[in-house]
Every structure is written in C-alpha cells, then in structure tokens.
Structure 1
C-alpha cells in the first residue's frame, strides 16, 4: 500500500476525530438538561476555591472524587483566561475544559494510530470516534472524560511499557476509580505483573505522601466513605423495576441535595441499594479468580486481558447503585483495546457498546426531563439500555470463560 494511501487514511481519521470533538463540544450548549452543568456548576467553583485560598476538596474537606481529579479542574481554570475575551468570562471555563479533553484525547489517538496503523488500530480508532459521537456531550463534560485517554494509553502500553502503563492506570484510578479495574485485569493477565504492582504501589504511596504533606489525613479515603450515603439512583440497572413502579405512581423520584442526584424513593429501594456494593465486589472477585486461573494455565494476554477488563468494568456499572450516564464512557476503553488485540472476537462487544452510547444519549440529556416525570418512552429506552448492559456483561463473561488456558512458552 502506497505512502499516499496511508496519509489519506490518517488524514481522514484525524479530520473525523477533530470534527466529532467540535460537534460534541457544541452539542453541550444546544442539548436540553444542561449536559455540561457539572463542569461549570461544580468543577469551576472547586478549582476557583483551591486557587484563591479557599477550601481544597480532598485535602481540607472530604470529597466524592479521588484527589487527583482536582488537577484537570485546576488545569482548565488556568488555561481559561485566553478564552474569556472571545467567549466571555462565564463560558471560558467550559471552552477550556473542552479544549483540555480534546488535547488529551488527541494524545491517546496519536498513540493508538502511530504513523502507519494496522487495520485493527484503524477499526478501533473509528470505533472511538463513533462512540464519542453517539454518547454525545456527556462524554466530554465530565471528569470521566479525562480518564478515558489516560486509560487508553495505559492499556496500549501494557505489553511494551508495563511500568509506565501501570503508573498511568494508577493515576487514572486516583482521578476516577474505574481505571483500577483495568489495572487489576493487567496484573492478572500480563507477565510483568510484579513490576506493574510495585509501580502502582509506588505511585499510590507518592500520592498519599503528598496529600499528607498538604494537610490531608481522614480526607484521603473520603471518596470511598462519601459514596456510602447514596441511595439508588434512577438510572442504575437495579432501579429499573422501581422506575416502572414510578410510571404507575407506586414509587417516587426524589432529588438528593446532599449527593446532587435523582434517586428512587420506594419500599425496598434502600435494601436493594445496600446489597449492590457487596454483590459488585463478589462478582469482581469471582471474575478476577477466573482470569487468574486462566493466566496460571498459560492463557495469552491477547485473549485474556480484554474480556477480563471489559467484564470487570461492566460489573462496576451493572452492580452500581449509581447509574450516571458518563459511566458508559468507561466501556469505550476495554472495547477499544479488545478491537486492537483480537478484532474478530471483539465485534459483538463493540457493537453493544455503540448501542449503549446511543441509548444513553437518548436518555440523558435528550429525554431526561421526561424521565424525571416517569414518562413511559424514556423509561422504555432506559430499560433497553440497562438490559443491554447485562447482555454486554454476559458477552464479556462468556468470552472470558472461553479463553483457551493451555501452557505455552510464548506468552505475551
């Protein structure tokens, strides 16, 4: 294939990447329900307070996020000044956030493609572009958007740069917990697990020491304790039956001012929410044990890593009492890595992830107001979305169970 043909392919990919990011950023201003609200209503005040001598979330007060989540928020605040003249002071932070996310995505996109990407990497690149377009502005205007490119680079570098990959995934987990699932999968599947484990421990120790020096103590693990007060959020998979009760007037949707989210108020909802986290832990441990057994019997990284990672990430969503729409962006990473490593077997999962992105956007932000009124159409869409999450979990587990576990001296 000629160099010109490769150049045209790269140009088309990069052009589509940039266009989709612009479209996604702009739709945040157009779509209903203010999908970029978290950025301007909570991220900007948190960063402003930290930069002006006020309270520092995660350090001087307990915070719902791991502490490194504050860094991209501060970065957006510091780069927002040049945008104020063109977009106005109130919009500058939003524009800066979109630029920051686009820049991070561009770095990961460049790592994915390289100079002459093979067919699986091109397919994975188109998949990412399509997923971003279908998921819409929620894929950009949340802190999760920062962790996606970090996790992609970490996943792509697991074989050649395992220590750097482990460091990136650990940093990602200190921004939003979910990249820790990818790290667990890597520690199970990749041969350099001890090097990665030591790197992850060293990065974590460094972060904890810095936080202590800044004055944090009980706040260091506050992002774990803050989650315990949550009720069953309306978009969670386990909330689906209660939403149907709400359409019949037998359950209520209420807003929690403590957690800033809409939750189910109905008999049994709190009990269901209470068992979800232990159940999530049990399923994750079982999946990890299956993966570890496969690895000990010689399963290759290319077959084991991606289905294990996908199953663990879906478990974090499907058994979560929180069902925030941005959680679907997590699915992009293991599906993308699976396309790179084993494109044929990844096809079903990738199609399901794209469907989940589209259905999630239809729920939030496009029909969210109607969902809050418990109207039938958005409840049907959300029910289908949640059912597909269960199907995706089944697809991941099935692929994990079917990974051949035969001893080999040529393990990756």
Structure 2
C-alpha cells in the first residue's frame, strides 16, 4: 500500500515538472498567456496602474487577479538572475504545482481508499495527456479548488460550496458544481446560502476597493465576441475555411482567432441563449431525478459533468484549457460512483490527448486550416458532444437510493 501510494505521489509530482518544462520547449508558446497577459496585468496593479476588474472592466472575475499577483511576488527573488519573464513563469508554475499538491493530499492522502487512488491516477494521466496548457492558464487555479470543493460536498457541504464559489470568482465554471449539488439535493439550502453569502461578501469587498460598473464586466464583455476557431460550433466553418470559403481572423481586442464567414456571427449570437436553455433543462432533469429519489452520490457526478460539458459545447469560445474543467467531474465520478465512471474517464483522457495534438503541436496548421489539425479538432469536438449526451443519459438513468427504490416498489404494488 505504501509503495503504491509513493508511486502515485511521485508520478503526480513528476508530471507537473514535465508539463511545466514542455511549456518552454514546445511550439506556439503554450505558456504565452502567463507572460504576455498575466504578468503585465499584475505588474500594473502593483505599480499603481489599472487594477483589472476593479478600475478597469475585465474578461475574468475579480479573484483571478490574486494568483497573478502571488506569482509576481514569487518571481521577485528570481528576477535579477533570470529576468522578469522567466521568473514570472517559474513563480506561476510553482503556485499551480503547490495548489495541485494540496488538493491531491485531500483527495488521495495516504492512499488507503482504492477509489481515491484511482482518481489520483486519472488526474495524473489527464495532466500528462493535456500537456503544458494544463498549468499555464488561469483555469489551472480553479482545478484544485473544484476537486477539493466537490469531494467535500459529501461530508462538509458548506465548506465545499464555499471553495467552489471562490473558484467561480476566479473562472465561472466551478459554479456549475454548486448548481449540480443544489439540484441533486445535497443539503441544497446550506449550499445555496453558503454560495450566496460568499458571493455577497466578495462583491462588498470589490465594491469597497472601487469596483462598480466593473463588478460584472466578466459577463457583459463576452457578448460581442465572435466565434472562436476551436469552439465546437465553429467546426463546420473550419471545414469551410479548409476549402477557402471562410477566413480565420485575429481579434486584437480579445486576443484570439475567430471565424469570419456567412452565418458565423448568427451562430455566435445564438450560442448564449442555447447555453442557458441546455443548462436549465439539465438542472430540471437533475432536480426531477433527485425528487424521484435518486442517490445524490450517483447523481452529483453525472450532473456536474453534464453541466460543465454543456458550458464547453455551447460556448462561442473553445480554448484548449477548457478541458481542465472536466478533471473535477471525472474525479467526483470515480470517488462517488466508480461503477459508472469508466466510459467518461476514458473519453476525457481521449479529449485531453486530442487537445494536446492540436494545441500546441499542430496549431500553426489549424490557423491555416490544414487538413490534419482540422480533422483532429473535429474529433475532439465530436467527443465533447458524445460526452454531453452520455452525461445526460447518466443523469436520466441515475439509480434510486435503496430506501427510495423500496418505497417506489411498495407504491407500485398497491
């Protein structure tokens, strides 16, 4: 047992070192956002310039600035030797690694539980297959918060909800796990009140710091975005681009590549209401299954996966780091409902590998609509749709708890 646990911990730590190093040597700057965007934002805040989310409207929730500032402070001792960029990259990698190790300790501990060891091996494999995009984005900060918060929804629902809410104020997606817990009936009122209380407290702090119109800028600034080339809905337009009937443009306003083609803007506009409809429908389905007596331990992972996948599939953005969002739901599935977790686990690992094959390995070709990367991203996006369908199916077929099944049987026999 001790040897297995030591091997797991060693593999997890070694994977972080490997993927961090790959960010330095692979093409297309997989750690580019860290030094080109995060470092200038944090430097400006520390030097009396614009404070993103407080004095300037931002695409991220306000707490996203905190890890950027911490990395800036971690980089200070290294700057005289390595320079600003290298020092900041190392500071960021250290911050993400420490956060993951702390969450791994909560998840795996001494490795006594087989399910938790399996979840730990999955996390290790997902990071390895996804490559350097996993640690070198702000999304990496939310993964350990979501893992610990999701696992703690079982025995510490208030603490779990608080961690997930904090994560949602870094990047919105962990809020999907809060909604899943509420719909699944896991002490719904306690989870809702905790999430609301944490959010109100944070909003009050942001307001006192000077934010007013900037408070919800991360929501309002997304409305005018076009259809990013890696989004699921952009897949048909990529094939048009491969045939010369569509164009891939770079937006200097939001720093991303988008599709320009007849109908692309309409599709981008329709995706937001579609996301709202899909999420609402899935929550209603989960709530109905919970009311029917479905076991929350088996309903929560499927509902979490369904909601998170819906946020990706119906998104006008398709950034490769979105695949890190899938890690926490799979871990919940392995820990709470391992018998039904094999298919989503294998599918998410495949999605990570396909994403790595596109970004950073063949991304130059994707920007020129070459056949291989377009095929790879088509397979990846098709896999996301399959994962969404499987999640909905799992929600609808979540087994009833033993007590609820017995009650249902007695009612049916009357």
Q: Could you say which TM-score interval applies, normalised by the shorter chain? A: over 0.9
TM-score (norm 1): 0.97
- How far apart are the structure 2 equivalents of 1:406 and 1:346? 18
Partners of 2:294 and 2:400 within 8 A in 1: yes
Per the TM alignment, residue 380 of structure 1 is displaced from its structure 2 partner at its CA by 0.3
**Does the residue aligned with 1:255 lie in a helix, a strand or coil?**
strand
Count of residues paired in the alignment: 406
Alignment correspondent of 1:346:
341
Alignment correspondent of 1:123:
118
Taking the TM superposition and a 5 Å limit, the aligned residue runs for 1:131-280 are 131-280=126-275
Per-residue deviation, residues 298-326 of structure 1 (Å, max 9, x unmatched): 21112100000000000000010100000
Per the TM alignment, residue 405 of structure 1 is displaced from its structure 2 partner at its CA by 3.9
Of residues 255, 275, 283 in structure 1, which corresponds to 2:278?
A: 283
TM-score (norm 2): 0.96
Taking the TM superposition and a 5 Å limit, the aligned residue runs for 1:7-406 are 7-85=2-80, 87-405=82-400
- How far apart are the structure 2 equivalents of 1:357 and 1:259? 25
Per the TM alignment, residue 85 of structure 1 is displaced from its structure 2 partner at its CA by 4.9
Return 5+ residue gaps in structure 1 as ranges. Answer: 1-5
Per the TM alignment, residue 229 of structure 1 is displaced from its structure 2 partner at its CA by 1.3
Higher mean displacement: 167-176 or 85-94:
85-94
Q: 1:294 to 1:409 in 2, by over 3 A?
A: closer
Partners of 2:185 and 2:287 within 8 A in 1: no
- How far apart are the structure 2 equivalents of 1:262 and 1:116? 43
Per the TM alignment, residue 38 of structure 1 is displaced from its structure 2 partner at its CA by 0.4
**Does the residue aligned with 1:160 lie in a helix, a strand or coil?**
coil
Per the TM alignment, residue 356 of structure 1 is displaced from its structure 2 partner at its CA by 0.2
Per-residue deviation, residues 236-267 of structure 1 (Å, max 9, x unmatched): 01100000000110000000011100000000
Partners of 1:297 and 1:406 within 8 A in 2: no
**Does the residue aligned with 1:64 lie in a helix, a strand or coil?**
coil
**Does the residue aligned with 1:254 lie in a helix, a strand or coil?**
strand
- How far apart are the structure 2 equivalents of 1:148 and 1:86? 31
Per-residue deviation, residues 201-248 of structure 1 (Å, max 9, x unmatched): 110011110111011101000000110111000000110000000011
**Does the residue aligned with 1:264 lie in a helix, a strand or coil?**
strand
**Does the residue aligned with 2:226 lie in a helix, a strand or coil?**
coil
Runs of 4+ residues deviating >4 angstroms: none
Q: CA RMSD in A?
A: 1.4
**Does the residue aligned with 1:396 lie in a helix, a strand or coil?**
helix
Partners of 1:294 and 1:404 within 8 A in 2: no
